[in-house]
Amino acid sequence: MPKYGMTIDLERCMGCRACVEACKVENNTGQNMYWMYVFRIERGKYPDSFWFFMPRPCMHCDNAPCVKVCPVGARHKREDGLVLTDYERCIGCRYCEVACPYSVNYFNWKKPASNQYYTWKEENIYGSGKVALVTAGAVPPYRNPDHDKLYGISKKRLVSGGGHSKGVMEKCTFCVHRLEKGLLPACVANCPVKVFTFGDLSDPKSEVSRVAADRSAFRLLENAGTEPRVFYLHASEPDPLARLGLTEIRRTIR
Amino acid sequence: MSTKTQPVSAWQPRAGAGFYVSAVILLVVLALGLYAYSRQLAEGEIVTGMRSIGTMGGATWGLYISFVVYFIGISFAGITIAALIRLLNLKTLAPLARAAELLTVISLILGALSIVIDLGQPLRGLKNLWLYARPASPFFYTFSLVIAGYLFASLVYLYLAGRADAAALATRGRGPVWLYRLWAAGYEGTAEERERHSRTLWWLALAIIPLLVLAHSTLGVVFGLQVGRPGWFSALQAPAFVILAGVSGIGMLVVIAAILRSVLRLQDRISLDQFKWLSNFLGFLLIAYLYLWGAEISTTAWVSRAEENELLRALISGEYAALFWVTVALLVIPFVILLLQFLTKRYSIPWIVTAGVMVNIAGMTKRYLLVVPSQTYGTLLPYAAGSYSPSWVEYLIILGLFALGILLYMLFVKVFPIVPIHETE
Ligand code: SF4
Ligand code: SF4
């Protein structure tokens, strides 16, 4: 049984957000939901300042606070290291979300169908069939059929992809549906500058293990004791208060 | 063995115009709450002001969870009063015993309802919370200990303590006799029966005390264990929850006692004696709470972990400052009132009731200040600070819950003597 893990090289990331886009398309997540998100972090004061970008998936913590607090065992840790949500069991208490120190959980506040980026119904005003022409016959909004399958050793859990039903919690799955097919997670596969490595952290000879052994490797919020499975390289941990300037910006653009 | 007995005929189910007018108003509010909930069921919790923490810049727990804590906190009153009467033999408080027990039962029901209302998948919740219950989650204890155990024990207590009265009312043959018969369940009031009852109630009171402390503590632990939330992660959370529960619970009991006293003209049964006692008890709990809160804040301010400090700044001088200082005032002023009464030995019911109302408002705002800012200002990665303001749906649902609670209370008072006829020893 592999134990999956990821490394993220902050020196390479140029902030193109291909990973964010790949994740959204692959997992059909709704508006405002960023299972993969990229921070832009600024240090110093102009002109003595520099930026770097920090992608943030779910850390798939080994000692995951979200798993510990789930009252019904919907959020669970798998033997291969993945932390997943059983969408058929989740009752929508959102305890996992307040427990997660990294704020990576997204709740389905709306019916997923009405939370898409585009109201496809309106498009049909211009004549039915026109949309199908553009999308090569697929009926939008497109749904990845892999997400309706069940996963896990006993193939019993509905855990992959987003947009299943309102009132349940979602977050990054490390693309469980792709892993079980032998593919890499969508973000890893789509990064143009190979920021990520992904693989079996329990195998010391794997690429991900070798990269994670780098001297500069660190994990986010190490002293929260969560034992994340995502390692960052070539930068240092951002200060939570780096947000202070952002707060005002958010207020004005919202 | 009963000390003060009143002739049974003295108790009348009262229902004047006031009863019906208030019942109609409450039903209207309840209906509005139900309507709001139907919107939430149909459209999802998008109709609330809550949003995900982090990039969405929201608070994922809001008014509902604040009021789960508030309602369950109120339940402190009943059991404590019952225990004080039984275990410490505090006969003075006996006329308030049933009023307090009823308060406990109703507030626990409201607390349970608020939890279900907060769930994204309420029906699934009602099933899965039992089917897949995980004792490792602090939430499990909120359900099993608080709602199931504590509510059940309080109901049993209320039931047993009311049997003698029910039996007496059944013989009188007026009002809902079937209810009295059912409640009395063959109780005859022989010396042996009374003795057995008072022994059972004594043990029950003793057993409920640890349950009470544990129940309120586990609710604190729901927050206190979250290492990723500044402002929550603290060992003081559990004891502070117990004490603040006491403050708002006793405060609410004072208010209810005063209302019962004037509406039902019970001046002879509920007298200044009870208020004096409750006033001193409330004052004691208040200063204990202020002490715990002060200890908490000074630790945070002194240690200066960046994220804790920013949260504190948001509280005392930032976005939440107005609410914060109002809360402080609503806790300090009542304490001063109660202290002055204690020192001068001159007690006044209106002042005690004022204090009760104030601590209850503080009970709500303090819970809000606990639940919300730690999410909007408590992220550990550099997300922009979030914001949350409850929507009309949330307000209406909470008002509806209050209306439901008051209605239940009124109905009980209408069919059953709220001040025990037999103060069973
Ligand atoms: S990052 Fe958050 S959601 Fe992911 S495993 Fe850790 S605690 Fe759970
Ligand atoms: S929201 Fe769902 S997955 Fe998260 S703790 Fe609640 S039941 Fe578990």
Give the Cα separation of B211 and B208 in Å (integer): 5
Is the residue at B187 inside a domain? yes
pTM of the model: 0.91
Shared-domain flag, residues B49 and B167:
no
Whether A254 has a pLDDT exceeding 70, the answer reads no
Is the residue at B69 inside a domain? yes
The highest-level CATH class for domain A4-114+149-253 is alpha beta
The closest of A3, A1, A74, A2 to A229, measured between CA atoms, is A3
Shared-domain flag, residues B104 and B171:
yes
pLDDT band at A127 (very low <50, low <70, confident <90, very high): low
Instruction: Give, as one character, the DSSP assignment of residue A115.
Output: G
Q: What CATH code is carried by the domain that includes residue B286?
A: 1.20.1630.10
Is the residue at B17 inside a domain? no
Shared-domain flag, residues B148 and B257:
yes
Is the residue at B80 inside a domain? yes
- Looking at chain A, which runs of residues are DSSP E strands? 4-9, 37-45, 48-56, 75-77, 83-85, 106-107, 169-170, 196-200, 230-233
Please give the C-alpha separations between residue A226 and each of A58, A64, A114, B150, B228, in angstroms, as whole numbers.
12, 6, 35, 33, 9
The closest of B75, B97, B87, B401 to B242, measured between CA atoms, is B75
Q: Which of A56, A61, A95 to mutate to test the pocket of ligand 1 (most atoms within 8 A of CB)?
A: A61
Residue B389 distance to chain A (closest CA, Å): 14
Vertex B242 angle, CA B363 and B230, to 5°? 75
Q: Which amino acid is at A130?
A: K
What digits encode the pLDDT tens for the residues A179-192? 999 999 999 999 99
Shared-domain flag, residues B330 and B399:
no
Residue A215 distance to chain B (closest CA, Å): 23
- Count of structural domains, chain B: 2
Per the listing, tokens 């909470």 go with: B398
Two tokens at A78?
A: 């798998």
Is the residue at B343 inside a domain? yes
Shared-domain flag, residues B190 and B90:
yes
Closest ligand, as measured to the CA of B132: 2
Q: Which of A69, A87, A91 to mutate to test the pocket of ligand 2 (most atoms within 8 A of CB)?
A: A91
Two tokens at A95?
A: 């305890």
| Chain A residues touching residue B128 (CB < 8 angstroms) | 72, 74, 89, 91
Residues within 8 A of B (CB atoms), A 204-223 only: 220-221
Provide ipTM, 2 decimals. Answer: 0.89
Q: Do B306 and A239 touch (CB under 8 A)?
A: yes
Two tokens at A120?
A: 């496809």
Shared-domain flag, residues B169 and B139:
yes
Shared-domain flag, residues B117 and B189:
yes
What digits encode the pLDDT tens for the residues A80-111? 999 999 999 999 999 999 999 999 999 999 98
How far is the centre of ligand 1, averaged over its atoms, from the C-alpha of A102 (Å)?
Answer: 7
Contact A92, B121 (CB under 8 A): yes
How far is the centre of ligand 1, averaged over its atoms, from the C-alpha of B110 (Å)?
Answer: 32
How far is the centre of ligand 1, averaged over its atoms, from the C-alpha of B337 (Å)?
Answer: 48
Contact B73, B366 (CB under 8 A): no
Two tokens at A238?
A: 């951002």
Is the residue at B73 inside a domain? yes
Domain of B223 in residue numbering reads as 54-378
Q: Does A252 touch chain B (CB under 8 A)?
A: no
Selecting from B44, B131, B383 the residue whose C-beta is nearest the C-beta of A167 gives B44
| Residue-level length of chain B | 425
Is the CA virtual torsion B70, B277, B106, B80 positive or negative? positive
- Tell me what pLDDT residue B290 has: 95
Q: Which atom of ligand 2 is nearest to the CA of A69?
A: 5
- pLDDT (tens digit, 0 to 9) for every residue of chain B, 425 residues total? 334 445 555 566 566 788 889 999 999 999 999 999 999 999 899 999 999 999 998 999 999 999 999 999 999 888 888 888 888 878 888 888 888 999 999 999 999 999 999 999 999 998 898 889 888 888 888 877 777 788 888 888 888 888 888 888 888 777 788 888 888 877 877 788 888 888 888 888 888 888 888 888 888 999 999 988 988 998 899 999 999 999 999 999 999 999 988 888 777 788 888 899 999 999 999 999 999 999 988 888 887 778 888 888 889 888 899 999 999 999 999 999 999 999 998 889 899 999 999 999 999 999 999 999 999 998 899 888 888 999 999 999 999 999 999 999 998 888 888 888 765 44
Q: Do A106 and B52 touch (CB under 8 A)?
A: yes
- Tell me what pLDDT residue B2 has: 38
Residue A77 pairs in a beta bridge with: A83
- Tell me what pLDDT residue A120 has: 58
- Tell me what pLDDT residue B4 has: 45
Best mutation target among A29, A51, A69, A108 (most B Cβ atoms within 10 Å) is A69
For residues B36 and A41, which has the higher predicted lDDT (pLDDT)? B36
Shared-domain flag, residues B64 and B112:
yes
- Tell me what pLDDT residue B425 has: 41
Summarize chain A as % helix, strand, coil (round to 5). Answer: 30, 20, 55
Whether A200 has a pLDDT exceeding 90, the answer reads yes
Shared-domain flag, residues B185 and B331:
yes
Is the residue at B272 inside a domain? yes
A71 phi/psi in degrees, rounded to 5: -75, -15
pLDDT band at A66 (very low <50, low <70, confident <90, very high): very high
pLDDT band at A223 (very low <50, low <70, confident <90, very high): confident
Shared-domain flag, residues B46 and B189:
no
Closest ligand, as measured to the CA of A88: 2
Please give the C-alpha separations between residue A187 and each of A19, A57, A77, in angstroms, as whole numbers.
4, 9, 21
Q: Is the CB of A96 under 6 A from ligand 2?
A: yes
Alpha helices in B51-190 (DSSP H): 63-74, 76-87, 97-118, 122-131, 138-141, 151-172, 177-184
Left, alpha or beta for A215 (phi > 0: left; psi -120 to 50: alpha)?
alpha
Shared-domain flag, residues B374 and B243:
yes
How far is the centre of ligand 2, averaged over its atoms, from the C-alpha of A105 (Å)?
Answer: 10
Average pLDDT, chain A: 86
Over the Cα atoms of chain B, what is R_g? 22
Shared-domain flag, residues B341 and B353:
yes
Q: How many CB atoms lie within 10 A of CB A230?
A: 23
Is the CA virtual torsion B323, B328, B331, B333 positive or negative? negative
Is the residue at B196 inside a domain? yes
Q: Where are the domains of chain A?
A: 4-114+149-253
Whether A162 has a pLDDT exceeding 90, the answer reads no
Contact B75, B82 (CB under 8 A): no
Q: Does A106 touch chain B (CB under 8 A)?
A: yes
